[in-house]
Amino acid sequence: MSWFDRLKPPKISTQQKRSDLPEGLWEKCKSCGEIIFHEDLKQNLMVCPQCSFHMAIPTRDRLDIILDQDSFEELDENMKATDPLQFRDLKKYKDRIKAYEKVGGEKEAFIYGRGNISGLPIIIGSFVFEYMGGSMGSVVGEKITRTYELALEERKPCLIITASGGARMQEGILSLMQMAKTTAALSRLRNHQLPFIVLLTHPTTGGVAASIAMLGDIILAEPNALIGFAGPRVIEQTIKEKLPSGFQRSEFLLEHGMIDQIITRSQLKSKLHFFFDSLMKNAKPLTNSF
Spatial contact of 276 and 237, defined as CB atoms under 8 Å apart: no
Q: Where are the domains of the chain?
A: 1-55, 57-280
> Do the beta carbons of residue 108 and residue 122 sit within 8 Å?
no
Half-sphere exposure of 278 (CA within 13 A, CB side): 9
Q: What is the DSSP string of 158-199?
A: EEEEEEE--B-GGGHHHHHHHHHHHHHHHHHHHTTT--EEEE
The pTM of the full predicted model, rounded to 2 decimals, is 0.89
- Whether the CB-CB separation of 70 and 111 falls below 8 Å is answered with no
Going residue by residue through the chain, which has 290 residues, state the pLDDT in tens, using 9 for 90 and above: 554 455 455 555 445 554 555 567 899 999 999 999 999 999 999 999 999 999 999 999 999 999 999 999 999 999 999 998 999 998 999 999 999 998 888 999 999 999 999 999 999 999 999 999 999 999 999 999 999 999 999 999 999 999 999 999 999 999 999 999 999 999 999 998 899 999 999 999 999 999 999 999 999 999 999 999 998 888 999 999 999 989 999 999 999 999 999 999 999 999 999 999 999 887 666 555 44
| Residue 119 to residue 181: CA distance in whole angstroms | 31
φ/ψ of residue 185, rounded to 5: -65, -40
Indicate the residue type of 116: N
The domain defined by 57-280 folds into 2-enoyl-CoA Hydratase; Chain A, domain 1 (3.90.226)
